[in-house]
Amino acid sequence: MMNAEAEAEVRQFSIRPFAEGDGDDIVALWRRCGLTVPDSDPYRDIDFARGRENSDVLVGLTAGKIVASIMVGHDGHRGWLYYVAVDPSHQRKDWGRAIVEAGEAWLGVRGVPKAQLMIRETNTQVRAFYEALGWEAIPRTVMQKWLK
């Protein structure tokens, strides 16, 4: 059972779309969560996705501070979740579940029938998190080609 202070903090958690000026806080969150990689510019990823017809960036806040995020997008058939993050100092408060559900809801409102995400094979802790939310691994090979 949570103490009163912890319960109040959980009630103060809210989710909204990206707003102008959020970029630095979101990128800092992603870096704290180990989500950035050298071959991707997180600022470019945000600019590419935010506020578009087929994509957006959602943030979770408590006490006015960004503590969670999810980037969502779709091609009309399948949706994708990217950059799902909860600040390490705020994990285990069910905010990861809340931000994933917000991404799923964003896709659902747009009629997208299926959502997918990718997890590095070595990240077993995150895989267990998604399995607890009802996600399942599918036998697929993901391929890429850089178009630079």
pLDDT tens-place values along the chain, 148 residues long: 555 655 555 568 999 999 999 999 999 999 999 999 888 899 999 999 999 999 999 999 999 999 999 999 999 889 999 999 999 999 999 999 999 999 999 999 999 999 999 988 878 888 888 999 999 988 888 887 778 7
Within-domain flag for 129: no
Determine the structural domain holding residue 106 and report its residue range: 4-118
Q: Is residue 141 part of a domain?
A: no
Evaluate whether residue 126 is within a structural domain. no
Is residue 30 one of the residues assigned to a domain?
Answer: yes
Q: What is the CATH number of the domain that holds 47?
A: 3.40.630.30
138: amino acid identity, one letter = I
Classified as helix, coil or strand, 116 is: strand
Indicate whether 60 belongs to any domain: yes
Specify the number of domains making up the chain.
1
Is residue 107 situated within a structural domain? yes
Nearest to 16 by CA among 133, 102, 85, 97: 102
pTM equals 0.86
Q: What is the DSSP letter of 45?
A: H
- Would you say residue 58 lies in a domain? yes
